[in-house]
Amino acid sequence: MSIEDVLVHIKNLTELAGVSGSEDNVRAYIKEKIRQYVDNITVDSIGNLIAYKKGRSSKLKVMLAAHMDEVGFLVSGYTDAGYIKFKKVGGIDDRILPGKRVLLGDKKIPGVIGSKAIHMQNDDEFESNVKLEKMYIDIGCDKKDEAEALAPLGEYIVFNTQYSELEGDSIKAKALDDRAGCAVIMELLKNTYDFDLYGCFTVQEEVGLRGAEVAAYAVNPDIAVIIESTTCSDVSDVEEYDYSTIYGEGAAISLMDKTTLYDRNLVDFIYNIAIKNNIKVQLKKTVSGGNDAGPIQRTREGVKVATISIPCRYIHSPVSLINKNDLFSCLNIMKLFLKQIKDCPGLK
């Protein structure tokens, strides 16, 4: 198992544009890199990439899922002065946006999110947060038709962030939610298992968990494990009892969230594998949010699901952080789980 390959994939994947509904570049990259390790690859009508890996036995079907899409924006209009108006795709905090650099479309046209200068604001404006409708993107045009020609209505927009490694084993990038999960599954597909494995790289998770529902219906798995990035709130001014996860303390296993009550046999089995093998692991303490596990769990007659996540600081922003040790914890736990899955209680 190559840790270097995983890091290279994360770098390459996070520097691609793949806003929900426009995952083409991400899908093409993954397809090219995994094709030699799997028996079949399909792309369904909604855009999910489903890789099938035949096992030594076909008595059990296991689905691994990670979403390809990222939060971002799309062009919604123009001003006469050539500024671009835009809407959010997925959950992004308006307060982080002014001054951020972005790239528009496949041409990667650079732009900056702007708003009224602080020197021009009245007292009420100064004391309140700037709302999205008061912002615009400046790409250097001074006429409406120029901006429209470069960035037509509906053009996708992503944050302009380069991958880099910081001190203390930290990785900084955009879209670590969930390109890190995609990289983990890409690595796991290199091995052969005692069951049929389906690596599902889903679309449109950030706008309603849409792709996973379609993929799970097609695969009809016995078990599904979602590989995610999740909130990490061990920062200043947050009480320890309110931490969701702790940075550097290992992959996090969910018990419950707003879309899923996880299969306890599966959760305990995965958690205990980590403990027995001295791999750092933690239980996610909050139950907010949700992920692809929700629609997968409710597919057809129901699916046993678990989610294992990489703690991610500043998630859904231009500069998310993950810790390499948490990434490797996730990868190593999943490697052992897939080898020992036949011993998991409650399986058919």
Q: Active-site positions?
A: 205
Q: Quote the tokens at residue 251.
A: 């992959």
Q: What is the DSSP string of 111-163?
A: EEEE---GGG--HHHHTSPPPGGG-EEE-S--SHHHHHHHS-TT-EEEE----
The C-alpha atoms of residue 307 and residue 303 are separated, in whole angstroms, by 13
Q: Among residues 204, 196, 195, 226, which one has the least CA distance to residue 51?
A: 196
Q: Among residues 242, 238, 226, 187, which one has the least CA distance to residue 310?
A: 226
Residues whose CB falls within 8 Å of the CB of residue 84, separated by 6 or more in sequence, listed in order:
75, 77, 78, 104, 111, 136, 137, 138, 139, 147, 151
Residue type, position 64, single letter: L
- Helix extents (H) in the chain: 3-14, 24-34, 123-126, 144-150, 176-188, 210-219, 264-276, 293-297, 324-340
